[in-house]
Amino acid sequence: MRFDNRLTRMLGIRYPIIQGAFGHGGTSRLAVPVSEAGGLGILTSIAFRTPDEFRADVRRARGSTDKPFAVNFTLWKGQIDEAYQEGYVAVALEEGIRIVFTSGYDGSRIGRTCQENGCVWIHKCATLKHAVSASGKGADAVVLVGLEGTGYKNPEQHTTLINVTAGRRMIGVPLVAAGGIGDARGFLGALAMGASGIYMGTAFMATREFQAPQKYKERIVRQDLTDPKIIRGIYGMTHGLAPSLASGVIGSVPTVREFMETLIREAEEILDEWRAWGLCP
């Protein structure tokens, strides 16, 4: 089945499924399998010590797949800012990258520079206010992360449910849902709420290709969502880089291809059920 919408056409991908832009794990080792499986893999600049290392991995990815992949520039105020990223941005443009993500603080200057060079610019943020702002500044699409997601939080952050249903009314560009999504029901649920696609971190962290110890991946599989410590950590703004609530629907550590094939197959089965009930064409 092909999920054809504004986002898939914009990015040239088969499925509206985007790999999270990790730190150390955001390399071609994971991005290539995701792109090969029909999603969008992402290389993250902060995974590399120098622009030259970044360039080498971009070339490695390009030599390993003819499918689209993207690069991400994370902006941390006071630590990794636009000046730090300049060398990496130059590499991306020189190497012909056509899909660019920014995340964290305002990425509009980098985004516009990349757009002027023929790129699609997508910004990832954690609040509706910032999503509306990024859209207004010209982002071609926006990723909006709900409280259920991993990573650092914002006191003004909403849940994924509210982000998508309210955000769809407030944002005119394609909206990508992130936060707590890890299986076919989460995927279809996000689309039904108005998202053009999904962005998954924890689900791809629990694949064989992700660069992390096996014990860490097993922790994702075994995570108990009824554990008060997990709940307090995620909703208490102290979550950091621990697995998200998506871990509640993850029961194994497959390859990226196995994970994607299972997700799409189960999504098709659910859609068949909905059609039988008269809920969709």
Q: Report the interhelical angle of 160-170 vs 184-193 (nearest 10°).
A: 30
Integer Cα distance of 104 and 89 in angstroms: 16
Check residue 224 and give its pLDDT. Answer: 86
Q: How many residues does the chain have?
A: 281
pLDDT for 78 equals 67
* Segments in the chain below pLDDT 50: none
Tens-place pLDDT, residues 48-77: 999 999 999 999 999 999 999 999 999 987
Q: Measuring CA to CA, how many Å separate 203 from each of 47, 142, 243, 246?
A: 19, 20, 9, 7
pLDDT at 143: 98
Residue ranges and CATH numbers for the domains of the chain are 6-275 (3.20.20.70)
Q: Label the pairing between strands 69-75 and 99-104.
A: parallel
Query: What was the pLDDT predicted at 122?
Result: 98
pTM of the entire predicted model: 0.94
